Structure 1
Amino acid sequence: MGGTKASGRLRQAAVRSVGGLPRQFWWLWTSTLVNRLGAFVATFLALYLTVERGYSASYAGLVGALYGLGGVVSSIGAGVLTDRIGRRPTLLVAQLSTALSVAALGLVTHPVAIAAVACLVGMATNASRPAVQAMMADIVRPEDRVRAFSLNYWAINLGFAVSSTSAGLIAQYSYHLLFFGEAAMVLATALLTFWKLAESRPTAEPERETRPGRDADISMWTVLRDSRFMVVVALNLLLATLIQQAFVSLPISMGQQGLNSTDFGTVIAVNGVLIVLLQLPLTRFIEHRDPAKLLIVSALLTGYGFGLNAFAGSSAAFYAFAVVVWTLGEMINSPTQMGLVVRLSPTHGRGRYQGMYTLSWSVANLGAPLLGGTVIDHYGADTLWAASAAIGTLAALGYGLLLRSMRAAEAEEPAPMCPEPPSPAPEREPTH
């Protein structure tokens, strides 16, 4: 009897998590999952350059920074294209370009060519993000968006958990298999986009926003003048800079301690596994709680989680424990912060706003490798991890001040933030 009740509760929880979303969302979700199942290269690029090719940590940091520079360029451009030519065309161009450039990166050998192609890979890979996020906001009802973004984030990390573990084993035999395997998976994603995803860009001119300073015609200058949104972007940049150390500085630091690619693959997979297991129930737990406290706690967990790496030495288990701590911070931050992003993004400028938000991750991709590689080469990895704890503390203070100012502004302005024009509810599909 108890087992029947428990299974019934689990079934109800599953329905609450995944039920009632439109069919196109699930095709978009599937394309995200397939893409992330083959996302090998960015995770293992630093190890490929330092272990397989014999380059220095500084050179690996430079290549990672150029990868990030490509993302900086494409974030804004793809955001504008998402609003102008549509979500689906932007996705297809980005996916096909990613497949070609990743395959090319596995073939080039000259250091200048590696750096140049890595920049192209960064451009192509990041170009799809504003389109995916804008399409998701288009096709999902407002009351379901936080849940939809959590499900998409869950798919990203499910794919990452599988790909990071398998890639660590594949790299023991051939790094080239990583490059060509990712190219094949991205091509499969492009086929899904072509066959199953319809264009979702709103065709009718939406009503004007009621917030002062908002115009019906959104430009990038409009986004830059939105001070609240830009503070969110800046704070996300701080935390994204920390999280990116997991893919550049962490493998280098572990390699210096005598650990290999399999050790790193197993340790970093803890991040994806935890998110896969806990993200959905955690989202239900935190969605109605005070966002100020959640964001502050998430920043502290992220910063101090990376700070713990200073005490890991050659223990893969301790590195895994540190991953648990900063992953909890990431899991709390993601749905809470995306709630702010969705509220602050007007319907008719979603591509540009999502492009600017994606830019914070791209700038982190650019700055984190340079910062991490340089600090490790000149001051040692322990200094980098101590600085990470300080950055987490700074971000926590920033979130506290931001939420405090937003509450004060809302008390003076009774109108809700970023109200959306009414729209018909999308057709509901059976749960997958």
Structure 2
Amino acid sequence: MKKLYLGYISSFQGLSKEVWWLALITLINRAGTMVIPFLSLYLTQKLSFTLADVGWIMTFFGLGSVVGSWIGGKLTDKIGYYKIMAFSLLGSALSFVALQFLDTFWSICFGIFTVMLIADMFRPAVFVALSAYSKPENKTRSVTLIRLAINLGFSAGPAIGGLIITNMSYGGLFWVDGITCFFAGILLLNVLNPKRAKVLDEVKNNAPKSAYNDFPYWLFFVSMILFGFIFLQYFSTVPLYYKEIFTLTEDEIGLLLGFNGFLIFLFEMPLVQFFEKKAWSNLSIVMIGCFLTFLSFVVLNISGWIGMLVIGMILMSFGEMLVFPFSNAFALNRAKRGNQGEYLALYSISFSVSHILGHNSGFHLIDLFGFEFTWYFMIMLGIIACLLLYYLNRRVIIQGND
């Protein structure tokens, strides 16, 4: 037991002080964005919008994320990651507070689009900052630490948000969101001043290449959209499957989804450290993670035994633990070829596109063809993603630039 504990602690060692500050800022920021999990409830119960209206508003949510990631990447290359992160955090603070004063359909659409545009400018900028503040050999673990902060933030946020709604109403939620984003921005300005922070891997490229002309990277982009499409089902259609087919209660569904966060907290850092020691490419490990994720849908169709839900969640969780850190590491390494902001913006946009397409398509497939067909469809997409990653990995190995 002591050996396991020491191994777990050692997986966090060697990361720079700046990376730990970035993780704390991300934790505060993500815990603060507690409006998001309650957005559909707020729109239907508080503002009395129809489900069709909410669907369109969530489309603007996704579009704002795509545009924000793209602009954030472009501006990061032009004026630097530090200014973009600061603008995004402080701008999010104002936009979250302002959002509560909008109550018509089109004003909400514009408002949520603007909020996500400003908020998701942070994503490519923080990845470029992470690359700068990490030694090359620590980058995958640095990404994993940020993911751990995001997961902890998303776990704490809804719980705190529920208490705020109960005691202060939805208005309090917007104010707390704004205050936490503002606090994260102030913390960034004070602890990560570029004049004092130690840059460990400054990439200088006198002839930067555009990510948009990098064909292998576009294959990677498509494979991440496909992975995101199937992965996101666990946060939209799969809970409905738990409810309608296995008649689980909301508490039981919450525990099962919470099990995912517990597994990530417990195993992701040691798992990443273990795979980093293997002489495997980043894309090979991503392919394994993608395989485990679509395998989680295979087990859902194998049997009606309730234990398959737990097995499926375990497979998906371990798949997620491999795909996100090592796909991010591939993107960071590839970004050294050219404009880092462009490369990392495309990486972020791939998951934004998955959000736009995945949830809505999953619900429509279930409505038309049922759960079993939908899970087979997800399996097919997973196989295509794995084949793309296999081809890409072979191509990258030949070119020698992973």
With normalisation by structure 1, the TM-score equals 0.79
Note the 1:31-110 alignment, pairs <5 A: 31-49=25-43, 57-110=51-104
> Per the alignment, do residues 181 and 384 of structure 1 end up closer, same or farther by CA in structure 2, a change over 3 Å counting?
farther
1:82-127 deviation per Cα after TM superposition (whole angstroms, max 9, x unaligned): 1211212111211122223333444433333332222222212211
Given that 1:167 and 1:265 are in contact with CA atoms closer than 8 Å, whether structure 2 keeps it comes out as: no
Q: Distance in 2 between matches of 1:339 and 1:76?
A: 19
Give the one of 364, 376, 383 matched to 1:393. 383
Aligned letter for 1:294?
I
Q: Give the share of equivalent positions with the same residue, in percent.
A: 26
Q: 1:296 aligns with which of 287, 296, 299?
A: 287
Give the aligned partner of residue 229 of structure 2.
241
How do 1:347-366 residues align onto structure 2 when only pairs under 5 Å count?
349-366=339-356
Shift of 1:278: 0.8
2:184 aligned residue (162, 186, 189): 189
Provide the alpha-carbon RMSD of the alignment: 3.4
Contact 2:8 2:269 in 1 (8 A): no
Check conservation: 2:97, 2:175, Cα contact below 8 A: yes
Using the TM superposition, give the Cα deviation of residue 387 of structure 1 relative to its aligned residue in structure 2, in angstroms. Answer: 2.1
Q: Unaligned regions of 5+ residues in structure 1, if any?
A: 1-5, 209-214, 411-416, 419-432
**1:353: how far off?**
1.2
- 1:349 is displaced (CA, Å) by 2.1
Structure having greater relative contact order (Cα 8 Å, sep ≥ 6) = 1
Tell me the distance in 2 between the aligned counterparts of 1:90 and 1:342. Answer: 18
Q: Which residues of 2 match residues 178-257 of structure 1 at below 5 A?
A: 178-199=173-194, 208=205, 216-218=207-209, 222-250=210-238
Separation of aligned partners in 1, 2:207 and 2:13: 34
Letter in 2 for 1:117: G
CA gap 1:113/1:319 in 2 versus in 1, 3 angstroms: farther
Q: Write the letter of the residue equivalent to 2:176.
A: G
Closer/same/farther in 2, CA of residues 117 and 375 from structure 1, 3 Å limit? farther
Name the CA distance, whole Å, in 2 between partners of 1:326 and 1:273. 13
Q: Residue 160 of structure 1 contacts residue 269 of structure 1 at CA under 8 Å; is this kept in 2?
A: no
Q: Deviations over 1:146-196 (max 9, x none)?
A: 121111112211222232444456666655444433323222211111211
Q: Is 1:406 paired with 2:396?
A: yes
Aligned residue for 1:346, secondary structure, equals: helix
Structure-1 separation of matches of 2:101 and 2:78: 35
Q: How does 1:378-389 map to 2 (within 5 A)?
A: 378-380=368-370, 382-389=372-379
